[in-house]
Amino acid sequence: MMCIVCFSIFSFSKCKNDIEKKVLVNYGDFDPETVKGYDYLIIESAHFSAEDIKLLKMHNQNVLAYVSFGEVNESASHYSDISKYTLSKNEVWNSYVLDLANKNTRQAVFKIVKNNIEKKGFDGLFLDNIDNYTSFGPTPYKLAALVSFLKEIKEKYPTTHLMQNAGLEVLPKTKDLINSIAVESIATDYNFETSTYKLRESKDFKERLDHLNMTSQQFGLPTIVIEYADTRDLAKEVLKRMSSYKTNLFIGEIELQNIPRYEP
């Protein structure tokens, strides 16, 4: 069993009502009766029925379904429908890069969105792999397709909460179409080649934190930070490093499969 830490301090956001939020990111299965009191609950919808989501919404705010707008893996329900339209492979996560400019891909992803919102009743969506559309990702030339897809979703579901994960570079294009931001690994630096956890180098940490702070203040969107640690000691170091800054912070192991069992 892996250990995950979850805690929150103040938000980067300049919005006063976006402080002291409690966050849980968990893509594993769990008993919905046991999860209560979170301001942001980000989960894998495949594990839960509409009744489960109804129960979770009774005891938590902003229950969001994980949906990737940038990649798809072979275990996803829509993989067989769109695999031949994917553009390349992400070797780190063993997933395939989406082409949101492709009609069939858009229809398949929109079907996932519709199912999560209309049938299962989620409050919103956690949009992963948005960094694919930045200059650092594989598909910056598909940014217009992402933006038009977001507009389509917002027009259909104007009250749905959309949380953008990463991709701060594209916020000038997406800011009016989303409700909040998530950013990973500001203080920590997980090594995928060696499967090891560590703190990020101080200079790199400060640069990333300053950039996030500036971006959050500029756009005024609620922000959460997701960090990765596999021991209580490392989690304490992360908390110490972030304690003088204002953020909603979640710490977990890289797989994000369990509910938090301890605090640093």
- Pairwise CA distance, residues 120 & 117, whole Å: 6
For 25, the token pair is 């990111």
Half-sphere exposure at residue 60, Cβ-oriented, CA atoms within 13 angstroms: 28
Q: For position 246, what pLDDT does the model report?
A: 74
231-255 pLDDT, tens per residue? 999 999 999 998 877 778 999 999 9
Coil/strand/helix, residue 77 = coil
- Identify the H or E element spanning 105: helix 103-114
Q: For position 21, what pLDDT does the model report?
A: 82
Q: State which fold the 5-252 domain adopts.
A: TIM Barrel (3.20.20)
Q: For position 225, what pLDDT does the model report?
A: 95
103-134 pLDDT, tens per residue? 999 999 999 999 999 999 999 999 999 999 99
Q: Residue 92, Cβ neighbours under 10 Å: how many?
A: 8
Domain boundaries, the chain: 5-252
Relative to beta strand 5-6, strand 248-252 is antiparallel
Q: For position 75, what pLDDT does the model report?
A: 86
Largest Cα span, the chain: 48
Residue 154, judged by CB atoms within 10 A of its CB (0-12, 13-18, 19+), counts as middle
Q: For position 104, what pLDDT does the model report?
A: 96
- Pairwise CA distance, residues 175 & 198, whole Å: 32
Q: For position 216, what pLDDT does the model report?
A: 83
Contact call for residues 188 and 199 (beta carbons, < 8 A): yes
Which stretches of the chain score pLDDT less than 70? 1-20, 260-264
